[in-house]
């Protein structure tokens, strides 16, 4: 006799066929009705478990849904049917209890998720990045581009934005750093948040944008909408990929130009990684306050990164340096440590002899929430710009 409460392939196939046979959204009520119509005696607990499992299969992330429901998980990586990893803010760790029966099951999930995002994943389009409802950003790669099988990466954006109090309690931000960060926003200073992938750039920027006064308009420009600041007057523009023929594409550079027509008090680019840096720097040189994120190994490395992005936009290194030095005033750099994500340094932006100069002003020493900061070579300029006195900043050596 088949045990009660078991969601096997036979039941899953029956419910899937029943639900998908009719048009309309796949709701829990429709799944529950299909489970009941199957004639299986699952009991109350078994029926609820079956509904959850089948809903995850038809509407969610399938075998990965349980991991996604963990509020600490920010990223999920599938390298193979039995090779699943997660990031809970302390680095990558192998996930227990999440696996796929076959490689075909991994591919089927990837194809379905990409289709939900309005794209196509097949041999003619083997690498796709989409954003899904619920705050999921999915990237999938098929063989033969991936030589080991279907690869699936899921970035999870939580709807609730963390407060500075929470970031400080977690040790991400130290008290001395917090005062500088608050001053940057309150005084409408333009800045970039730098760091490696998964360092917490989007999380920190969302938190800081929540400090913008409520009577100021914030316009966000993103390749995939991930910023969720706790601010009452925020609008988001999201890039659009072209169709199979390449038509209909709207890139970030165009969106920055459109955003300028929307009278932003704050213009924010979720991730500077292409020619849009030219439009952003130009906008910030015309009286707008702004912010954005950028991939870099250290605050000083932002110089090389901006120079490279400027070259993509047709700017010479000298032009990029002059534009950036006039448009930006600070760089906040994050890093990942075994203890979690941390603000490693806050640097001041300047220019000298036609070159962009980014100098550390406040550098974190040690780890954990009780760490201290030391003054860097740019501290005097940063403190002067923000009107901060050394005596006001605790834990500064």
Tell me: pLDDT of 1 over 50. Answer: no
Count the helices and strands in the chain (H runs, E runs). Answer: 13, 15
Of residues 177, 190, 376, 180, the one with CA closest to residue 272: 190
53 shares its domain with 85: no
C-beta of residue 383 within 8 angstroms of C-beta of residue 392: no
Q: What is the pLDDT of residue 173?
A: 95
Residue 397 domain flag: no
Q: What is the pLDDT of residue 3?
A: 43
Tell me: pLDDT of 106 over 70. Answer: yes
Backbone angles phi, psi at 332, to 5 degrees: -110, 120
Burial of residue 9 (CB within 10 Å: 0-12, 13-18, 19+) is exposed
Residue range 110-161, pLDDT digits in tens: 998 888 888 889 998 999 988 887 778 899 999 999 999 999 999 988 767 8
372 shares its domain with 236: yes
The domain of 326 spans 164-392
* CATH code of the domain covering residue 149: 3.30.450.370
Q: What is the pLDDT of residue 310?
A: 92
Total structural domains within the chain: 3
- What is the helix, strand, coil percentage profile of the chain, to 5? 35, 25, 40
235 shares its domain with 332: yes
Residues whose CB is less than 8 angstroms from the CB of residue 105 and which lie 6 or more positions away in sequence, other chains included = 62, 63, 81
- Check: pTM over 0.85? Answer yes or no: no
369 shares its domain with 275: yes
Residue range 181-228, pLDDT digits in tens: 999 999 999 999 999 988 899 999 999 999 999 999 999 998 888 888
CA atoms of 130 and 113, how far apart (whole Å): 8
Q: What is the pLDDT of residue 266?
A: 95
CA atoms of 36 and 314, how far apart (whole Å): 63
Residue 190 domain flag: yes
40 shares its domain with 171: no
- DSSP-assigned letter for residue 247: T
Of 256-260, 346-350, 356-360, 371-375, which gets the smallest average pLDDT? 371-375
Of residues 262, 257, 258, 261, the one with CA closest to residue 234: 262
**The pairing of beta strand 191-195 with beta strand 289-295:** parallel
252 shares its domain with 199: yes
CA atoms of 310 and 278, how far apart (whole Å): 6
- Is 104 strand, coil or helix? helix
226 shares its domain with 149: no
Q: What number is the average pLDDT over the span 14-21?
A: 60
Residue 2 domain flag: no
Residue range 41-53, pLDDT digits in tens: 555 665 566 556 6
Residues whose CB is less than 8 angstroms from the CB of residue 287 and which lie 6 or more positions away in sequence, other chains included = none
* CATH code of the domain covering residue 374: 3.40.50.300
Higher pLDDT, 31 or 335: 335
- DSSP-assigned letter for residue 2: P
CA atoms of 110 and 98, how far apart (whole Å): 15
The secondary structure of 19-55, three-state, reads HHCCCCCCCHHHHHHHHHHCCCCCHHHHHHHHHHHHH
262 shares its domain with 328: yes
Q: Averaging pLDDT over each range in 42-51, 65-74, 330-339, which range is the top one?
A: 330-339
Q: How far is CA 113 from CA 58, 142, 224, 325, in A?
A: 10, 13, 15, 42
Q: What number is the average pLDDT over the span 247-266?
A: 88
Q: What is the pLDDT of residue 118?
A: 80
Q: What number is the average pLDDT over the span 235-255?
A: 80
306 shares its domain with 325: yes
Share of the chain above pLDDT 70, in %: 81
Share of the chain above pLDDT 90, in %: 47
Tell me: pLDDT of 5 over 60. Answer: no
189 shares its domain with 173: yes
Residue range 261-314, pLDDT digits in tens: 999 999 999 888 888 888 888 888 888 899 999 999 999 999 999 999 999 989
Tell me: pLDDT of 370 over 60. Answer: no
What six digits make up the tokens of 13?
A: 């196939």
Tell me: pLDDT of 397 over 70. Answer: no
Q: What number is the average pLDDT over the span 68-75?
A: 87
Q: How far is CA 245 from CA 130, 139, 297, in A?
A: 18, 21, 37
Q: Averaging pLDDT over each range in 4-8, 277-281, 326-330, which range is the top one?
A: 326-330
Of 183-197, 321-335, 376-390, which gets the smallest average pLDDT? 376-390
pLDDT interval class at 28 (50, 70, 90): low
120 shares its domain with 244: no
């Amino acid at each position: 006799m088949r045990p009660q409460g078991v969601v096997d392939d036979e039941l899953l196939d029956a419910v899937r066929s029943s639900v998908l046979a009719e048009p309309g959204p796949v709701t829990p009520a429709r799944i529950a009705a299909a489970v009941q119509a199957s004639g299986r005696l699952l009991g109350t607990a078994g029926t609820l478990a079956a509904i959850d499992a089948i809903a995850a299969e038809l509407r969610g992330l399938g075998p990965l849904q349980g991991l996604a429901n963990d509020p600490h998980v920010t990223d999920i990586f599938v390298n193979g049917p039995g090779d699943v990893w997660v990031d809970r803010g302390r680095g990558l760790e192998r996930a227990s209890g999440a696996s796929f029966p076959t490689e075909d099951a991994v591919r089927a999930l990837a194809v379905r998720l990409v289709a939900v995002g309005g794209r196509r994943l097949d041999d003619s389009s083997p690498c796709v990045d989409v954003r899904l409802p619920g705050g999921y950003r999915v990237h999938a790669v098929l063989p033969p581009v991936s030589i080991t099988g279907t690869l699936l990466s899921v970035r999870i954006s939580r709807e609730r934005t963390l407060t500075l109090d929470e970031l400080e309690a977690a040790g991400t931000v130290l008290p001395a750093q917090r005062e500088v960060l608050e001053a940057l926003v309150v005084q409408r200073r333009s800045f970039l948040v730098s760091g490696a992938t998964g360092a917490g750039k989007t999380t920190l920027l969302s938190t800081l944008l929540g400090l913008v006064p409520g009577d100021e308009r914030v316009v966000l420009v993103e390749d995939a909408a991930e910023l969720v600041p706790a601010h009452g007057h925020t609008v988001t523009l999201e890039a659009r990929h072209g169709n199979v023929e390449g038509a209909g594409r709207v890139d970030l550079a165009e969106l920055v130009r459109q955003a300028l027509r929307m009278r932003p008090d704050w213009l924010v680019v979720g991730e500077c990684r292409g020619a849009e840096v030219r439009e952003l720097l130009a906008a910030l040189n015309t009286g707008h306050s702004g912010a954005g994120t950028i991939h870099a190994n250290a605050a000083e490395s932002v110089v090389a990164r901006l120079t490279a992005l400027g070259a993509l936009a047709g700017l010479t290194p000298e032009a990029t340096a002059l534009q950036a030095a006039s448009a930006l005033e600070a760089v906040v750099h994050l890093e990942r440590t075994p203890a979690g994500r941390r603000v490693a340094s806050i640097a001041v932006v300047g220019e000298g002899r036609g070159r962009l100069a980014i100098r550390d002003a406040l550098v974190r020493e040690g780890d954990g929430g009780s760490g201290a900061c030391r003054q860097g070579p740019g501290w005097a300029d940063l403190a002067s710009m923000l009107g901060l006195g050394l005596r006001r900043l605790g834990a500064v050596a």
